[in-house]
Amino acid sequence: MAAKLLGGPFLSLISSLEQLFDWIACGEVVEFVREKKLESEINKLEITLSSVGRIAYDAEKKQMTDKAVKQWLQDVNDAVNDAKGLVYEIHTEALGESEHRGRTIGAGTSRILKITSRHPPKRGLATIYNRRIQEILRIKSESKSGSSGEKKQEHHHQRILQILNRLEFSVRQKDVLGLREDVEVEKTTTTTSSETTNTATAATMEVEEEGEESYCIYGRDADRRAVIKALSSDDGEEGGDKVCVISIEGVSGIGKTTLAQLVYGDIDTIKRFDIKAWITVSNDYNLFTLLKAIYETVTGLKNCRIQSIVEFQLKLEEFFRGKKILLVLDNVWNMTFPVWYLFKRSFESVVSGSKIVVTTKDKYIASNFGTSAPTHCLQLLSEKDCWRLFSRHVFNNNKVKPHGLDKIGRQIVKKCNGLPLAIKLLAGLLRTEMNTTSWNNVLKNEAWGLSREHCNVLGALWLSYCYLPPHLK
């Protein structure tokens, strides 16, 4: 989802252009275009597509703050997709003709050779005979196609002109939109594999020993203790349910998943449960796929052939019988009460004190579960905790900071609005660019003006995306 949100039409456009240029350069297509007298149109199309590609790199940077540029990217992407469809059609036709020509010439040659073998030509005339045979077969093949070939040629010609007109109009719009062709692709510092690994580990969590400093998580110690306390209780739900649901709520990027991972890996918590399972719930899940994911995770069986929800419920009920379980459902977007009612039937055989931890940004999820268990609403980090988190990832908590970066860094951290994910994203970027110029570019970037309901992390996410090398985008 993040890739679609950030890259959008740009990534699709660049991918389509690469495929187009590969097809156009194909030997069979080059020969086909020459025979059909489409060289001029195809050459012009290739030049125009190159211009579009160069403009697109500037449009990529401006699309998030300029709706007109974003629409331009979408329109030109549609035109390029039409060009892709046309060139694919030509590519397929060219390959087909090449194969057909080979079969026809092969068959015709064998028939003529049978005749000429009775009266073989003199050695000096062999080459002339072969050339004449090829020419006769070519003319014969063309005469069969006749008018249909001419119609296809005209069809291709007209479609190329239509697509060219659309693309040329888009290229002319660049001046109105303030777009340029001469923008260089962003160059970034390449991190080593060890740096990448360290950043990825830190972005998740580091569990070594007690204390926030060891976990590389700040401002969440009270939440961690509260959730662990709830997990340690052997009480079931009010109303007789043996499974207690604990909901961790908060806006995107506030650290719900990180907190859940922290308590999920707690040593004392691990000892309390017979079965543990972590399920990441997609936004397009359904009850069948959710039960299937749980069953395959807890049993270790992959690609099971169960075809019905009822069968999964019975299998899970049998597997969980007499056991205390801990199940984490991470990133639940929505679960209605009727779905939850059917879902929890799989857990009727568990031991009292079993727990289901749900992370969600929807504050009404807990009410849909009908649970009376406490809900943990995560708050934004304090300015002090934000700086500690940033400093840990960028400076490795060194008290001596490079000249000028301390002040700029604190200003950048303020723009993250207390969201740990935004801080970690930018920390991963800035730790490889330890100079005031790069940090000031990030501080003053237009991406900070982005707004999206319930998604304050978007600005930092966009900045991190912009600084990626093209192949990683």
The secondary structure of 84-129 as a DSSP string is HHHHHHHHHHHHHHHHHHHHHHHHHHHHHHHHHTTSPPPGGGHHHH
Exposed (0-12), middle (13-18) or buried (19+): which is 186, by Cβ within 10 Å? middle
Residue 25 Cα distances to 76, 119, 280, 391, angstroms: 22, 44, 43, 51
Strand, helix or coil at 406?
A: helix
Which pLDDT score is estimated for 373?
A: 61
Cβ(97)–Cβ(32) below 8 Å? yes
Q: What is the pLDDT of residues 98-152, one digit of tens each?
A: 665 555 545 544 544 444 444 444 444 455 445 555 555 555 555 555 556 677 7
Which pLDDT score is estimated for 339?
A: 87
CA distance 73 to 71: 5
Which pLDDT score is estimated for 257?
A: 92
Which pLDDT score is estimated for 425?
A: 84
Measure CA of the first residue to CA of the last residue in the chain; give whole Å.
Answer: 14
Residue 185 Cα distances to 48, 53, 222, 288, angstroms: 19, 11, 45, 45
**Which residues, 6 or more positions from 41, have their beta carbon under 8 angstroms from its beta carbon?**
157, 160, 161, 164
pLDDT tens for the chain, 473 residues: list them. Answer: 454 555 567 777 878 888 888 888 888 888 888 888 888 888 898 899 888 888 888 887 777 778 888 889 889 889 988 888 888 888 888 887 766 555 554 554 454 444 444 444 444 445 544 555 555 555 555 555 555 667 777 888 888 899 999 999 989 988 888 888 766 554 444 333 333 333 333 333 333 333 444 456 888 889 999 999 888 877 655 555 788 889 999 888 899 999 999 999 887 777 889 999 999 997 778 899 999 999 999 998 887 888 899 999 999 999 999 999 999 999 898 888 888 888 988 999 999 889 999 999 887 776 777 655 668 889 999 999 999 999 988 888 676 677 789 899 999 999 888 989 889 888 888 888 888 888 988 888 777 766 554 345 566 766 766 666 665 65
Residues in the chain: 473
Q: Hey, what are 20's tokens? A: 């187009």
Cβ(162)–Cβ(45) below 8 Å? no
Which pLDDT score is estimated for 183?
A: 61
* Domains, in order of start, for the chain: 2-177 (no CATH), 220-377 (3.40.50.300), 381-466 (1.10.8)
Name the residue among 447, 451, 440, 449 with its Cα closest to residue 464: 447
Which pLDDT score is estimated for 410?
A: 92
Which pLDDT score is estimated for 209?
A: 34
Quickly tell me which residue has 């600084």 as its tokens. Answer: 467
CA distance 196 to 337: 42
**Which residues, 6 or more positions from 191, have their beta carbon under 8 angstroms from its beta carbon?**
199, 432
CA distance 383 to 387: 6
Q: What is the pLDDT of residues 229-287, one digit of tens each?
A: 888 877 655 555 788 889 999 888 899 999 999 999 887 777 889 999 999 997 778 89
Cβ(56)–Cβ(13) below 8 Å? yes
The strand order across the sheet containing 354-360 reads 275-280, 325-330, 354-360, 243-249, 375-377
Q: Hey, what are 12's tokens? A: 């699709």
Which pLDDT score is estimated for 118?
A: 47
**E strand or H helix at 13, and its extent?**
helix 8-24
